Chain A
Amino acid sequence: MQQVDNETPKKKFDFKQIISKMGTVIALLILVLVVTIANPGFLQPDNLLNLLRQTSINAIIAFGMTFVILTGGIDLSVGSILAFTGAVTASTIGSGTPAWLAILFGLLLGALFGCLNGFIIAYGKAAAFIATLATMTIFRGATYVFTDGNPISSNALNNSFLFQYVGRGYLFGIPFPIIIMVVAFLIWFVVLNKTAFGRKTYALGGNERAAFVAGVNTNKTTILIYTISGLMASLAGMILTSRLSSAQPDAGTSYEMDAIAAVVLGGTSLAGGKGRITGTLVGALIIGTLNNGMNLLGISSFYQQIVKGVVILIAVLLDRKKNKA
C-alpha cells in the first residue's frame, strides 16, 4: 500500500512558484518603477491618492465582475446600470428625498437589475454575453429616456453633505472612494474565500453539472452573483455621480471593458473556476497606474488606448504560457 502523503502541506521555498503566483504584483511594481523613473512626481502622496481614487470606481465594478467571471459568465451591463442608478439617485435627491434614502434606493435598484440579469441567465438558460449585451442596451436606453438625454444636477445635489461626501469626502486624509474600495474589497474577499457561497461560486465555474449534482443550487447562486455585480455597479455609480455632482446619461460607457480587463489582468480565467479577487485589485491598480502614469508623462489619450490594449494582450499571453507550463 502506498503512503498517503498528507503530512507535507508546507512546500519548500519555490522561486518559480512565487514568480508565477505574484506575476501580476511584479508587473505592477515594474510599471511603478518605470513611471517613477520617467517622472519621479508619480510617487508624491497626492498623486498616489489621486491614482487610488481614480482606480476605485473601476476596482469596485471589477470586484463584482470577478464573481461573474469566476462562474464563466460575463456582465456587459455594468456601465449602463451605473448610469441608470446614478441618474435615478441624482433625480431622487433633486426632488427632495434625503440623500441616504436616495442612495439606498439607487443601490437596491442596481441589485435588482443584476438580479434580473441573473434570472435571465439562470432560468432562461441564455448565454451571459448575449443576455447582458441586451440588458446593457436596454438599461442605457432607459437612462436616456429617464434623463431625456440631459445631465441631471440640482442645488439639492450640490448641497447634500452626505452625497457630496461619497465621492469627494476625506476620512483621515484619505479620499472616501478609496475607503469604500478597501471596505468592499475586504467584504468580497471574505465572502469569496470564507463562505459556502464563495466555494459554490468556484464550483459553479469549474463544472456546473458536477456542482448541481453535488447539491449546489446553481440557479440561486447564479442570480446572487449577478446581483452582486449589479450592486457594485450602482455603488460605483453613486461615487461617480457624486464626484461629478451630476448624473450624465452616457456615464460609465465602456466601463465594463476596464472591469473585465482588471479581472483578467488579475489572473482570473475567463473560462471560470479559477482566480482570485486580490488579483482583480492588482489588475485594477495596473490599469489605474497606466492611466495615471501616461497622463503624467503627457502621452496623448489616443496613444494611451493603444498602450493599454497592448499591456492587456501581453498579460493574457503570459498567463496562457504560465498555465500551459
Chain B
Amino acid sequence: MKVELKNISKSFGENHVLEGVDLTVEPGEVHSLVGENGAGKSTLMNIFTGLLKSDGGEILVDGKAVHYSGPLDAEQHGISFIHQEMNNFAEMSVVDNMFLSKELRTKFGLMDQKTMIKQANHYLGELGSNIDVLAPIGSLTVGNQQMIEIAKSLMTNAKVIIMDEPTAALTGNEIKQLFEVVNKLRAKGVSFIYISHRMEEIFKIADRVTVMRDGVSVATYKVADVAMKQLVHDMVGRDIGSFYPDRNPKIGKVALEAKHLKENGVFDDINFEVHDGEILGFSGLMGAGRTEIMRAIFGIDKLTSGEILLDGKKVSIHTPEQAIRHNIGFLTEDRKDEGLILEDSIYNNIALPSIEGFKKHGLIDDKTIDDFVKMLMKRLTVKAMGADVSAGSLSGGNQQKVVLAKWVGSGARVLILDEPTRGVDVGAKREIYELMNELTDRNVAIIMISSDLPEVLSMSDRIAVVYEGRITGVVDAKGATQDMVMTLATGGTVNATSR
C-alpha cells in the first residue's frame, strides 16, 4: 500500500504547527521521520492516524483520497500507530490485552478463549516470537511488549505501521530482534514510518528519511545518499559544528571514591573514583547494574556493604536527603516518575531540593527563590513561558534542563547523570553537553551513565564499564573505541585498562 500525505497543514489557534508537509511512503519501505521535539512529527502522525483533523491538504491511499472519521477508521484503512508509551494493562494476560475490546465470542456470547489464544500465538509466531500469551503483560520485557504491539498491528491487518521511538527502552539484543521483525514484514509489503532520535538506527534500518523542522518537511533523502551531518543540519537549521563539543578538562583531586560497594544480588565489589572537573562515563548493557550502583550511592536503594568517601572522608548515606546534604545530585533515568513533579510548576521543581536553604525565621522567602529559579532557568536556557508553567508542559529537552537546574541549584559537587540525553532532541542534546562542560569547568565531578556509545566516548574523560554487576574495566576515553567498550560490556577483556 502506498500512502501520500500532501501539503498537510494544521493550526491550534494562532499556533501554526504544520505548514504544508509532504510525506510519501512506498509499499515495503521503512521511512524514517526525524526532527527536533516540537517540529510537528507527532501532530502529523496524529492526523495520519485520524486522531486529529487537518486544516488543509490530503491523504491519498494507493492514489485515492481518504477521509477518516476517527482512529478506528484509519485502522480499517490499514494504518496502525505504535506509541512510545504502550497502553497496556500490566496485570492482564498477553492474549487479553491483544483482544481488548475486540474479544471473540462463542455462539453463546461467552468469550472464546481458545480461538483467541490460537490467533495470538499465530500472529506472534509470524514474528518469530514464542511469548507465553497467558503471562501477565507486565511481567514481560519492554522488547517483548513491543513485539505484542506489532502483533496487534498485524491483527488489524496493518499495511503501514508507525513506530514512535521504538528503541528508547530496548537493549542491544532487543533492538536487533526488532529490526529482524521489521525486515521480515517489509519483505511482505508492510511499510513503516519510523520516528527516532537515534541517528545510527536510521542508517541501519531505513530506506528513506524525511526531516521536519518547524512544521515543514525540509527534505527527503535516500538514506544511502545522505550523511548524518546533513540530517542534523536540516533538523536544527544550522551547522552545530561537531556534534559533541570539545572537552578540555582540568582534573583535580578525588571528589568521590567508592570502595567495595555491594548490594546483594545486584552488584558486587564496585570500586571507582571520580575527580573534581572530570566526567566519568558509565557504560554497560541495560540491566548490568549501572543505575543500581548510582541509586545505592544516592541513598535510594540500600547498600549491603562498602564505603563511600567524599573528599577522602568516609560518609554514610542512607537517604537522598543525606546525599543532597553531602552535595551529591542525581538526575534519574526516569524523568517522569522520579525526576519531576510534572503537574507542579518549574519554580517548585527547581526549588525543592534547596528549599531548606531558603528559610528565614522558619518561613521561606519567595522573592529570593524567584530570583534563584530565574537565574537558573536563564543559565540553563530553559525555554518556557515562565517559571509558573507546569514542568509536564515542557518538551523532553527542557524538562531535562529543569532537572539539571534543580541539581545545579542545590549546589551539587558530585553530579550523577543517568541517561541525560534520552528522549532529548538534537539541539537540546548539544546544550546539555555544553552545560556538562561548563559544570566541570567549575570543578563539579560528573558521573554519566549512558547507553549511547558515541556519547560516552565523546563526553567522558574516563569510562567505567559494568558487566553483570561488576566493573570489568576503566578505560581512558582517549583512544577508547566502541569495540573496546562493547567487549568489556559483554564480559570480555581488553588491554588498555587504566587505573
Q: Which residues of A contact B384 (CB under 8 A)?
A: 4-5
- Bound: A195/B387 CA distance, A: 19
Please encode chain B, from 396 to 407, with 1 for each CB lying within 8 Å of some chain A CB and 0 for all others: 000000000010
Q: Beta-carbon contacts of A1-43 to B below 8 Å, as 1s and 0s?
A: 1101110110000000000000000000000000000000000
Residues of A with C-beta under 8 A to B338 = 207, 209-210, 213
Determine whether B180 belongs to the interface, using a CB cutoff of 8 Å to chain A.
Answer: no
A207 touching B337 by the CB < 8 A rule?
Answer: yes
Instruction: Give the one of A2, A6, A209, A210 with max B CB within 10 A.
Output: A210
User: Would you give the shortest CB distance from B369 to chain A, in whole angstroms?
Assistant: 9
Chain A residue contacts of B353, Cβ below 8 A: 214-215
Kindly provide the distance from the CB of B299 to the nearest chain A CB, expressed in whole angstroms.
9
Q: Does B51 contact A (CB under 8 A)?
A: no
Query: Are B344 and A195 in contact, with the CB atoms below 8 A?
Result: no
Chain B nearest CB from A323 CB (Å) reads 10
Q: How far is the CA of A306 from the CA of B388 in the complex (A)?
A: 40
- Closest approach, in angstroms, between the C-beta of B237 and any C-beta of chain A? 12
User: Could you say which of B154-162, B165-173, B319-327 contacts chain A?
Assistant: B319-327
Q: Would A196 and B364 count as touching, CB distance under 8 A?
A: yes
Residue numbers in B under 8 Å from A202 (CB-CB): 344, 348
Candidates A9, A194, A196, A273; contact of B356 at CB < 8 Å: A196
Neighbouring B residues of A169 by C-beta, 8 Å: none
A4 CB contact (under 8 Å) in B323, B330, B377 = B377
Verify B364–A212 contact, CB threshold 8 A. no
Cβ contacts under 8 Å, B337 to chain A: 207, 209-210
Q: Does B363 contact A (CB under 8 A)?
A: yes
Contact A217 B364 (CB under 8 A): no
Closest to B323 in A: A215
Q: Which of A190, A195, A211 contacts B352 (CB 8 A)?
A: A211
A214 pairs with B387, CB closer than 8 A = no
A243 at the interface (CB under 8 A from B): no
- Give bound CA distance, A215 to B410, whole Å: 10
Total chain A interface residues with beta-carbon distance under 8 A: 28
Known: A199-B355, A213-B330. A4 touches B382 (CB 8 A): yes
The answer to whether A195 touches B362, judged by C-beta atoms less than 8 angstroms apart, is yes
B286 interfacial contact with A, CB 8 Å: no
Contact indicator A207/B342 (Cβ below 8 Å): yes
- CB contacts (< 8 Å) of B364 on chain A: these are 194-196, 199
Count of chain B residues near A, Cβ 8 A: 43
- Tell me if B300 counts as interface (CB < 8 A to partner A): yes
Q: A199 vs B300: C-alpha distance in the bound complex, in angstroms?
A: 21
Partner of A6 from B344, B351, B355, B387 at Cβ < 8 Å: B387
- In the bound assembly, the distance between CA atoms of A207 and B343 in angstroms comes to 9
Q: Does A206 count as interface, using CB distance less than 8 angstroms?
A: yes
CB pair A199 B352 closer than 8 Å: yes
Determine if A83 is an interface residue (Cβ-Cβ < 8 Å): no
Contact B344–A215 (Cβ < 8 Å)? no
Task: Establish whether residues B363 and A199, one from each chain, have CB atoms under 8 Å apart when the complex forms.
Answer: no
B153 contacts the other chain (CB 8 A): no
Whether a CB of chain A sits under 8 angstroms from the CB of B2 is no
Q: Is the CB of A216 within 8 A of B352?
A: yes
Contact of A217 among B321, B332, B340 (CB under 8 A): B321
Q: Please give me the residue from chain B that is nearest to A5 by CB atom.
A: B385
- Considering the chains assembled together, what is the distance between the CA atoms of A7 and B109 in angstroms? 63
- Measured CB to CB, the closest approach of chain B to A193, in angstroms, equals 9
Is A274 part of the binding interface, using a Cβ–Cβ cutoff of 8 Å?
A: yes
Chain A positions within 8 Å of B330 at CB level: 213
Would you call A213 and B348 a contact (CB within 8 A)?
no
Tell me if A62 counts as interface (CB < 8 A to partner B): no
A206 to B320, CA, bound (A): 18
Q: In the bound complex, what is the Cα–Cα distance between A279 and B386 (angstroms)? A: 25
Q: Does B442 count as interface, using CB distance less than 8 angstroms?
A: no
What A residues does B362 contact at CB under 8 A?
195
- List chain A residues, Cβ under 8 A from B332: 213
Q: Contacts A5-B385, A210-B340, A213-B332; is A196 near B355 (CB within 8 Å)?
A: yes
Interface string of B359-394 (1 = CB under 8 A from A): 100111010000000100110011111111000000
The smallest C-beta distance from B262 to any residue of chain A, in angstroms, reads 22
Report the separation of the CA atoms of residues A71 and B307 in the bound assembly, to the nearest whole angstrom.
35
Question: Is there an interface contact between B344 and A196, defined as CB atoms closer than 8 Å?
Answer: no
Does the CB pair A207–B381 fall under 8 Å? no
Chain A positions 173-221 with a Cβ under 8 Å from a chain B Cβ? 190, 194-196, 199-200, 202-203, 206-207, 209-217
Residues of B within 8 A of A196 (CB): 355-356, 358-359, 364
**Interface flag for B341 (CB, 8 Å):** yes
Q: Given that A4-B384, A6-B377, A195-B363 are known contacts, is A203 also in contact with B344, CB under 8 Å in the complex?
A: yes
Query: A194-B364, A199-B348, A203-B352 given as contacts; is B343 within 8 A of A273 (CB)?
Result: yes
B339 sits at the interface (CB 8 A): yes
CB B337 to nearest CB in A, in angstroms, measures 5
Using known A-B contacts A5-B386, A190-B363, determine if residue A210 contacts B341 with beta carbons closer than 8 Å.
yes
- A residues touching B (Cβ–Cβ < 8 Å)? 1-2, 4-6, 8-9, 190, 194-196, 199-200, 202-203, 206-207, 209-217, 273-274
For the complex of A and B, 5 pairs with smallest distance between CB atoms: A206-B341, A215-B324, A207-B341, A214-B352, A196-B355
- Known contacts A203-B348, A213-B332, A215-B410, then 18 further A-B pairs from the complex at CB < 8 Å, ordered by chain A residue: A4-B377, A4-B382, A5-B386, A196-B355, A196-B358, A199-B352, A200-B355, A203-B341, A203-B344, A207-B340, A210-B338, A211-B341, A212-B319, A213-B330, A213-B339, A214-B324, A214-B353, A215-B323
